[in-house]
Chains A and B, each alone.
Chain A
Amino acid sequence: MEILNALALFTNFVVVPATAYGAQLALGALGVTLIFGILRFANFAHGELMSFGTMITILVTWFLQNMGVSIDPFPTALLALPIGVLAAISMALVMDRMVFRFYRKQRSNPIVFAIVSVGVMFLIAGIIRIVIGPADQSFADGERFIIGAIDSRRALGLDEGIAIKQSQLITVVVTAIVVAWLFWFLQKTRSGKAMRAYSDDEDLALLSGINPERVVMICWIIAAALAAIAGTLYGLDKTYKPFIFLQILLPIFAATILGGIGQPVGAILGAFIVAFSEVTVTYAFKKFLTYLGPTDWAPDGLVQLLSTDYKFAVSFIILVAVLLIRPTGIIRGKVI
């Protein structure tokens, strides 16, 4: 019984939140890894692209809420998400046309591209601050919990319950659908194969008659769509904080590099490893251990390896470790 309680506790506070967080990171990391595979640079603007798509989703959500449109018990944001996705795609394509294409014509170094993307990041961040402001926004509505803590405690007959928020379930379901679609697209369709071929060898793809500008455009469309979805899911699960999207680049890049740069499967793997590490390391194991040991052995401290304030250190440590031990990542990817 005590062991089951400990497991339920662990599931509730580590497995469930880390799974949702991992899914959000996975969508972000997939976008970064696709852009690296095709355009061959680390896109620092990706976080702000997520933020931009989310912002538009929020604005449309508010509009729909004012109009009295609702798909209760689901959050209205799901209805607004397609517009957010379209906005993010437009932003990505405009930025590509106005900024990145110039450097592509010049055949610039990848590091130049990365620095340019930092500039684009600041630009999009500025637009977001002007439109929606720097404050936190909450836009989740609809049913909050699918399974409440009390209900699950009763159902399981345990002292500890496993609560699952609707946003967490939506995150996992949407991610599963999007990822399944993405792999189908990359493996089976003509355009998807062209993207993989281009990522594999640019010159040979050109010899095969693949149009590079088209591949680049499809890549931006997919990456931006993934970004808007990831940002919205993240915002639904927590709240929308414009400032978080600079910080979230770190776990996303860590996941991308850990999984192997340019490798979509690796990005997903890396995202879940980063998410689980982050949540596990910052979880206070006091109660968990109390359940497992005799009552008077209960630890005095929180048994928390790292304060939540330092959760980004986990991504840093993973990044450094990967670059030292296996720079190609889990699935052998490109080395920067």
Chain B
Amino acid sequence: MSFLSATGMTGGYGGSDILHDCTITVEKGEIAVVVGPNGAGKSTAMKAVFGMLNLREGSVVLDGKDITNLAPQERVPEGMGFVPQNRNVFVSMTVEENLDMGAFIRKDDKIEETKQQIFDLFPILGEKRNQPAGELSGGQRQQVAVGRALMTQPKLLMLDEPTAGVSPIVMDELFDKIVEVARTGVAILMVEQNARQALEIADHGFVLVQGRNRFTDTGEALLANEEVRRSFLGG
């Protein structure tokens, strides 16, 4: 069984189902990317993994523990870190306070150590540690958001379109950082609009169409797949 296995997820926000028997799995230290056309239910699938959606069927198992019935905030102590697409930093608080809030649930005394690791990973955050997060650029905000989620020392980090609205250069930089995070042994699940670039760094890719798994393979194989390229990657 995979480190995270969300299997057979079926459900929606009430009313009709958005996800139909959707399965997503991630291994430790691997990057899994969910791609697909607009409205395919990519973000919904991730929200379902995080418990923000009522599942009619299916289960979510993290590290051997069934967490299907836990509320989102109860999944954070279980080792899930979630970076929402929008409004993912506390704009009125400084960069350092944002990181402190990420560590809110931690009771150990290694918090400063983790903070230092995050400053090493994202040097710009160290430079701007006393600046309100709301004054930072889009790319820097994303780094704060990822840093905040990493402060909980998650075993699984979930990123909802981390590169939305940032320039291509910043996007490449962010992807590099995400690879670095994965190398430390964190499982990463990511939803991406920039499918081609995302699949390039992905160990596994999940192509969703209308809430169903259409293709599931390694990132490389999906990029090489003629049909996937034609339909979803623009040739």
> A residues engaging B (CB < 8 A)?
190, 193-194, 196-197, 199-201, 203-210
Contact = CB atoms under 8 A, between A and B. Distances in A.
Nearest to A263: B92
Interface of A (DSSP majority class): helix
A201 B87 CA distance: 8
Contact of A197 (B77, B88, B101): B101
Given A194-B104, A203-B87, A209 B92 contact: no
B83 to A, nearest CB: 9
16 contacts: A190-B104, A193-B93, A193-B97, A194-B104, A196-B90, A196-B97, A197-B101, A200-B90, A200-B93, A201-B90, A204-B84, A206-B73, A207-B73, A207-B82, A208-B101, A209-B105
B205 interface: no
Nearest to A205: B101
A207 B154 CA distance: 12
B48 to A, nearest CB: 16
A196 B97 CA distance: 10
Contact of A200 (B84, B92, B100, B104): B92
Contact of B104 (A196, A199, A203, A209): A209
Contacts of A197: 90, 93, 97, 101, 104
Contacts of A201: 87, 90-91
B72 interface: yes
Contacts of A194: 101, 104
Interface string B11-39: 00000000000000000000000000000
Contact of B100 (A193, A199, A205): A193
A78 to B, nearest CB: 35
Interface string B63-88: 00000000011001100001010011
B152 interface: yes
B92 A196 contact: yes
A214 to B, nearest CB: 11
A199 B101 CA distance: 13
A308 B108 CA distance: 60
Query: Which has the most chain A C-beta neighbours within 10 Å: B88, B91, B104, B152?
Result: B104
B102 interface: yes
A196 B93 contact: yes
Given A200-B91, A204-B88, A208-B148, A193 B101 contact: yes
Most chain A CB inside 10 Å of its own CB: which residue of B84, B90, B102, B152: B90
A207 B88 CA distance: 10
Contacts of B105: 208-209
Nearest to B80: A207
Contact of B87 (A190, A204, A208, A210): A204
8 nearest A-B pairs in the assembled complex, by CB-CB distance: A209-B105, A200-B90, A208-B101, A197-B101, A200-B92, A208-B104, A206-B73, A209-B104
A206 B82 CA distance: 11
Contacts of A209: 73, 76-77, 104-105, 152
A240 B91 CA distance: 42
B226 to A, nearest CB: 40
A101 B105 CA distance: 24
A203 B50 CA distance: 13
A204 B91 CA distance: 11
Contacts of B89: 204
A71 B14 CA distance: 65
Contacts of B76: 207-209
A205 B97 CA distance: 12
Contacts of B84: 203-204, 207
B93 A207 contact: no
Contacts of A210: 101, 104
A264 to B, nearest CB: 12
B152 A206 contact: no
A180 B150 CA distance: 33
Contacts of B100: 193
Given A193-B93, A197-B93, A207 B72 contact: yes
Contacts of A199: 92
A19 B104 CA distance: 39
Nearest to B88: A204
Interface in B155-169: none
A199 B87 CA distance: 13
A266 to B, nearest CB: 12
B92 to A, nearest CB: 5
Most buried by B among A197, A206, A208: A208
Contacts of A206: 72-73
Contacts of B90: 196-197, 200-201, 204-205
A198 B91 CA distance: 11
